[in-house]
Amino acid sequence: MADEGDILQNLDTKANGADTQPSAAIITQYVKDLSVENPNAPGVFQWTDQPQVDVQFNIGTETISDEIHEVALKVNITATAEAGPAYILELAYCGLVGIRNVPEDQAHAFLFAEAPRILFPFARRVISDAVRDAGFPPLLIDPIDFNGLYMQQLQAKRAQEGAEGTIPPAEGNA
């Protein structure tokens, strides 16, 4: 296993004489957790109704060191027909992200918008293959605008903070 110094080699800018140059990169990506359940097999393959598919996403990060973060794209999928669940899939697809000399607000945007955008096509392939391997037609999830979602959540958070910050001043304090 490579140590932190080896992992950060992709981010090393000292060789160019610019040790303060901002940089961010995906170091590696991997399946951290994958669970596929086919609880009604083999009977499910005789069902004639089309299952309803519910797809839920969540993005999480964990700080590994000052310059390395784990970004987890968590996906929960439930396909349910009238007779019950056809399949259930849970995936935690992760990437180690190296960030050096990047302002905190830009690092946050990279971790919660850009890194998930980069990881998504690979997670999508894992999901498609896992559903197919469970005996169902491959599930191809539509692309997601992670940057747009990030901006929406950021604007909603700012609006909420602005609404909470409109507390009238106490009497005598102006």
Q: What is the pLDDT of residue 158?
A: 87
pLDDT at 170 over 50: no
Convert the pLDDT of each residue in 76-131 to its tens digit: 999 999 999 999 999 999 999 999 999 999 999 999 999 999 999 999 999 999 99
The angle that helices 115-133 and 146-164 make with each other, rounded to 10 degrees, is: 120
Reported as a single tens digit per residue, the pLDDT across 40-75 is 999 999 999 999 999 999 999 999 999 999 999 999
Residue 93's DSSP bridge partners are 31, 73
Nearest to 11 by CA among 109, 2, 20, 112: 20
Two tokens at 29? Answer: 């990506």
All structural domains of the chain: 29-161 (3.10.420.10)
- pTM of the full structure: 0.80
